[in-house]
Chain A
Amino acid sequence: MPVATLREAIEEHVHDGDMVALEGFTHLIPFAAGHEIIRQRRRHLHLVRMTPDLLYDQMIGAGCADHLTFSWGGNPGVGSAHRVREAIEKSWPQPLQVHEHSHAGMAAAYVAGASRLPFGLLRGYFGTDLATVNPDIRSVACPYTGEQIATVPPLNPDVTILHAQKADLEGNVLMSGIVGAQKEAALAAKRLVVTVEEIVEHLDAPMNSVVLPAWVVSAVACVPGGAWPSYARGYYARDNAFCIAWDEISRDRERFAAWIERYVYGTRNHREFVQALRADGVSL
């Protein structure tokens, strides 16, 4: 039975120095799990994520990471991820070494990781400077035609963390909607932690939907609202107003630190986190 509390799941499966991928492409981003990692003061993580947006802004600003593998980092539709930027530009709160890809390259790296292949390949990175700053981007001659094809090393995180709509009592997980590269990131990892909106008796998953069977899941925690301010299709919408407000909160070091102190360090779990936001007038 892999069902646990989120605190237990993070305590057991996320360690200092781990390579950790919290995936979710705008949808189903495991914010509550990221906050728990901040609360448990994990350090020296190598964070992996195609789109480091608000969640990695918070984790990097809080000092959890010193490596970042990514392909696009910002506050979508709003602007910069200010904490990520300050870590790269000014080494604050600590230096951040980046390993940068394109989306297609990173997707290929997850596919290779999930397949336990020595590299992923794509027709990509054509004419760009990315290969000059990321020595992991190389190429190989096609054994049939001789064509040079770009290669990327596999991504095999120590732990991948996802948020999904449902799990059943056995710990099988179902997700739907925009599913990004979550299945690949899940199967590429050594351990898999999933938070879900609800635990149901039977999944009743439509055939061919994205199901992660219990035996590949290390732990499941029921954390309703755990993707906020991202969204969980069928449960709640993306909080675009908060994502816009985050621009101001994150712009300033002190204001950011106060936000983390009040809402993350100052609360014991996601329920208290939401209650604290509501108490301060955030409509949720």
Chain B
Amino acid sequence: MMTVTAARMLWDRAVCFVGIGLPSAAANLARLLKAPDIVLIYESGTIGTRPNVLPLSIGDGELADTATCVVPLPEIFAYWLQAGRVDLGFLGAAQVDRFGNLNSTVIGPYDRPQTRLPGAGGAPEIALHAKQVYVIIKQSPRTFVPSLDFVSSAGFLGGNGERARRGAPGRGPQAIITDYGLMRPDPTTDEFVLVARYEHVTVAAAVAACGWPLRTGAAVEVIAPPTLEELEALRELHARTRAAHAVRVKLPI
């Protein structure tokens, strides 16, 4: 449902910088269903890639083989992302706060972590330079926290226009897609509020699954359930992916 909801929010010809996992699944579902000319960029340097199966890693051969071009890493970050050529950054994270700041670095203190996470990777500069950012993350009080253990990537910082005042080129996070519904930032305070929910989810449940006192928009819309077409396309994509990842590799020695 999260994947389908996110896919619906993408548009044709968008230049989309995609992280691995749910963002990658949603972006490719959108490409298959409704946005055939969406330009997918992965940080491995593959530009305009059209993978037939979802990559397990950010640099699977499938991404290079189906790309318009493949560029070196310093170039993807400098000439393409930093130069402002990316319409949409699509990120996941381990924790998010009410202003859309993200943590993918560490749970607990940095020097003595409870859980050391993989780290920021490409996200800090995607979050800075993409014209806007979507965040896709499963909701629980442990992931939607009042205060991050570590800021890996900036959203609206402290809110109330701080991000814009500090001169960030991109507009920052414009949507958080969760397994309860959809949050959007309040245009004045920058705080994320619940604006839509899935049919089977109550507003009370969404509020309970959030670690900050989640406010709701003027009206909380109901997100239409996935259509048969959407579900079939997603299932086929996952089935192709599973089959591809199970193929044994043959070494030439």
What residues of chain A have their CB less than 8 Å away from a CB belonging to chain B?
A: 25-27, 50-51, 70-74, 76-78, 80-81, 84-85, 88-89, 100, 102-104, 107-108, 110-111, 122-130, 133, 177-181, 183-184, 197, 210, 224-225, 228-229, 231, 233, 235-244, 271, 274, 283-284
Cβ–Cβ < 8 Å partners of B221 in chain A: none
The listed residue (B72, B82, B116) touching A183 by CB distance below 8 A is: B72
User: Please, which residue of chain B has its CB at the minimum distance from the CB of A223?
Assistant: B253
In the assembled complex, which residues on chain B have CB atoms less than 8 Å from the CB atom of A239?
248-249
User: If the complex has contacts A25-B44, A104-B122, A107-B73, are A77 and B56 also in contact, measured as CB distance less than 8 A?
Assistant: yes
Report 11 cross-chain contacts, Cβ distance below 8 Å, ordered by A residue. A76-B59, A80-B118, A126-B127, A126-B168, A127-B163, A129-B110, A178-B44, A224-B251, A229-B249, A238-B56, A241-B247
Complex Cα gap A104–B119 (Å): 13
Interface of A, secondary structure class, is loop
Contact with A127, one of B59, B114, B116, B166 (Cβ below 8 angstroms): B166
Number of A-B contacts (CB under 8 A): 211
Report, nearest first, the 9 A-B pairs whose CB atoms are least far apart: A26-B59, A127-B154, A74-B118, A72-B121, A76-B57, A77-B56, A104-B77, A225-B251, A107-B74
A181 touches B44 (CB 8 A): no
List residues of chain A with CB within 8 A of the CB of B73: 25, 50, 103, 107, 179-181
Interface check B58, CB cutoff 8 A = yes
Q: In the complex, which residues of chain B have a beta carbon less than 8 angstroms from the beta carbon of A100?
A: 105, 119-120
Q: A111 CA to B79 CA in the complex, in Å?
A: 14
Q: How far is the CB of B201 from chain A (nearest CB, A)?
A: 27
Contact assessment for A72 and B56 in the assembled complex, using a CB-CB cutoff below 8 Å: no
B150 at the interface (CB under 8 A from A): yes
Complex Cα gap A153–B253 (Å): 41
> Once bound together, how far apart are the Cα atoms of A127 and B190, in whole Å?
15
Q: Which of B132-158 contact A (CB under 8 A)?
A: 150-154, 157
- With A72-B119, A130-B120, A180-B44 as contacts: A244 and B74 at CB distance below 8 Å: no
Taken together as a complex, chains A and B put the C-alpha atoms of A177 and B45 apart, in Å, by 10
Let me know if A233 and B64 touch, CB within 8 A. yes
Within 8 A of A (CB), among B143-196: 150-154, 157, 163, 166, 168-169
Interface flags, B97-120, vs A, CB<8A=1, else 0: 000010001000010011111111
> In the complex, which residue of chain A has the Cβ closest to the Cβ of B77?
A104
Interface size counted on chain B using CB atoms at 8 A = 63
- Are B245 and A241 in contact (CB-based, < 8 A)? yes
CA distance A127 to B105 in the complex (A): 14
Asked if B128 and A124 make an inter-chain contact with CB atoms under 8 angstroms apart, the answer reads yes
The answer to whether B20 has its CB under 8 Å from any CB of chain A is yes
Residues of A within 8 A of B114 (CB): 89
Name the residue of chain B whose CB is nearest to the CB of A29. Answer: B59
Closest Cβ of chain A to B42, distance in Å, is 9
User: A283 contacts which chain B residues (CB < 8 A)?
Assistant: 248
Say whether, besides A110-B74, A177-B70, A224-B251, A102 and B61 are in contact (CB < 8 Å): no
Chain B residue numbers with a CB within 8 Å of A235 are 252
Q: Which residues of the partner chain B approach A231 to less than 8 Å between Cβ atoms?
A: 61, 249
Using known A-B contacts A103-B43, A128-B120, A133-B110, determine if residue A284 contacts B249 with beta carbons closer than 8 Å: yes
Chain B min CB distance to A107 (Å): 4
Q: How far is the CB of B251 from chain A (nearest CB, A)?
A: 4
Query: Is there an interface contact between B118 and A81, defined as CB atoms closer than 8 Å?
Result: yes
How many Å lie between the Cα of A92 and that of B247 in the bound state?
35
Chain B residues whose C-beta falls within 8 Å of the C-beta of A236 in the assembled complex: 249-252
Q: Provide the bound-state CA to CA distance between A133 and B109, in Å.
A: 11
CA distance in complex: A179, B157 (Å): 34
Which of A127, A178, A183 is B70 in contact with, Cβ under 8 Å? A178
Contacts A71-B120, A124-B128, A126-B168 given; 15 further ones with Cβ under 8 A? A27-B44, A73-B119, A76-B58, A77-B21, A80-B116, A89-B115, A100-B119, A111-B74, A127-B101, A127-B168, A128-B120, A177-B64, A184-B72, A228-B249, A241-B249
Alpha-carbon separation in the docked complex, A274 to B246 (Å): 19
Q: Do A181 and B72 form a contact, CB below 8 Å, given A71-B120, A128-B153, A236-B249?
A: yes
Contact among A27, A104, A274 for B124, CB-based, below 8 A: A104
> Is A27 touching B64 in the complex (CB atoms < 8 A)?
yes
Q: Is B129 an interface residue (CB 8 A)?
A: yes
Contact A129–B151 (Cβ < 8 Å): yes
Q: Please provide the chain B residues from 5 to 51 with a CB less than 8 Å away from any CB of chain A in the complex.
A: 20-21, 43-46
B116 lies within 8 A of A89 (CB): yes
B125: interface (CB < 8 Å)? yes
Contact with A along B53-78 (1 / 0, CB 8 A): 00111111101110000101110011
CA–CA, A18 to B96, complex, Å?
38
B123 in contact (CB, < 8 A): yes
Instruction: List A contacts of B122 (CB < 8 A).
Output: 72, 102-104
Which chain B residues lie closer than 8 Å to A242 at the CB level?
249
